[in-house]
Structure 1
C-alpha cells in the first residue's frame, strides 16, 4: 500500500512500459515551503535549490505537515482518478501525458493492508513449496494422459523399468544415437533385423513374438497380441477377471518385458542371462518367485505350470 503520492509515483514509474518515454522526462518534487508535489522536468530538477520550486510549475496539493499524507485510495472516486491541482488546468503535451498515464494506471484495487508478496501460481496468492513443485513439474516434465502404475508385488527396480518404458527413456541403441552418442550399430542385437527401439525389442522382434505367443497359449485368458504397454493396460481394464488373476497376468507380462531386456543386455555386454530356448521357462520361474514371495497368491510350482490363473 502506498502511503504517499511520492511512493505512488515511484510505483507508477516502475509499472509503465518503456514505450511511454514522456514519463521518464518528468518527476514529482516536494516543495518544502508549501508541502505540495510539483511536476518538474528531469532536466530542471538539478536547478531547484533546497526543494524551493517556482510557483509556475504544476502542483498537486497533499496538505500541510500537520495532516497525514493522502493515501492513493483517497484520490479515486467512482473508479476514476481525482487530483486537485493547484493550477487550473493541464494543457497541451502535459495534458496528453497525464491522460496516457491515467490510462496505463487503470483502476487498481486499493487496500489499507501493508504491502506483501503475492504468488500467481495458485488461487490463494500465498507461496507454498507444493504449488511451486507442481508448477515446475508441469513445465519441465513430459505430459502424459496415462497414469504411472506401481505394483507392490514386484521389485522396485522393475517398477522403475516399466516407468522408463512408458517414457521411452531406456538406453536402446536408437535413443542413444538420437542423443548424439556414437555407437557402432543401431541394429537390434536379438534379431539383427531393424533399428533397435523399445517397440522392436519388446513387441516386434522375432524373439519377442515367439515368447509372447508361448505366454498367450500358456495363460489361455484371451490375451491379444500386444504392440505396446498401453495396449496391454487397455485390455486389462476391459477384461473381467478376479483381482488375483489380474495380478498374475500383470506379473507374467512384466516379467516377460524384464526378461527380454535382460536377455538383450546379455547379448550387448557379452554377459549370459539365459539361452534363447530357455527364455520362456525363465519367465515362468521368475514370475512364480515374485508372486510366491511378495503376494503369496501362488504356492505350488506344478499347479503354476499347468493352471497359472
Structure 2
C-alpha cells in the first residue's frame, strides 16, 4: 500500500491494523486490497481531504500533487474543504499558499470536475465499505445462480437450495421414506444416513446419494454456463439411471433389475 493509502486513516484501531496487515499480504500476491475499499462520507470530519483515499482511485495528494503543494494545511479534513449545504450538496472552501496558475490551475479544474459527482451521504458517521465489484467480482454472482435466495456455498448448493431440496425430496419418496426430513449434508456426503436403514450404511443409498449430488452440481453448472433451468422433473430419472449404472458396474454382489429398481428399491439387499 502507498504511504497515503487506506491504512493511513487516522484513529486506527488494533482490529483495523490487523486487517491492514492481511491487506499487505494480499497486495504482495498482486491483488489490489486498498482499491477494493470505498469510503462513504457523511460528515467528513474524520477523513483527510488530501491524504486519505476516499473518492478517487488514489489520494488527491498523489493525483493532484502540484495543487497539493499549494495547500496551506495539508492534513485538512473534508468538512473544512467541502462545506456541507442543504441536503447532500456542498461548496468548496480553499486556502492556498498562492493563487493556482498554469498546470496547477488545470489540476484544480480537474479536481473540481471530478468532485461534481460527490455528494455527502445521509449516514451519521463516515464509514468504510468493502467494494468487491471494484476488483472485478460482481456481488450478484456470489448468490446462488439457481434459486437466487442465498450465497452460493457448498452447503447451500447441495442441500439448502430450492432445487436441491426438491431433488432430495423426490429421492426420499422414491426410496420409500414417508418423512420429508432431509439428512444433513455431512451425513449425505459420508453415506452414513440411509433413511430406510438406520442400522448400517447402505451401498445402494451411497450410490443414490452421490448420483444426486452429481446431478445437483451438473444442474448448477447448466444454470450458470448454459443459462438452462427447469430440470427439476427430469432430476429423479437421471439419478435413477446414474445410480443403477454405478451399482451395476461396481458391485458383483447385487443383482439389479431395472424395472424393479425404478419401482421399489427396498426389495434389494446389499452388504455395504
Higher relative contact order (CA 8 A, sep 6+): 2
Normalised by the shorter chain, which TM-score bucket? 0.3 to 0.5
In the superposition, the TM-score normalised over structure 2's length comes to 0.41
Structure showing greater radius of gyration is: 1
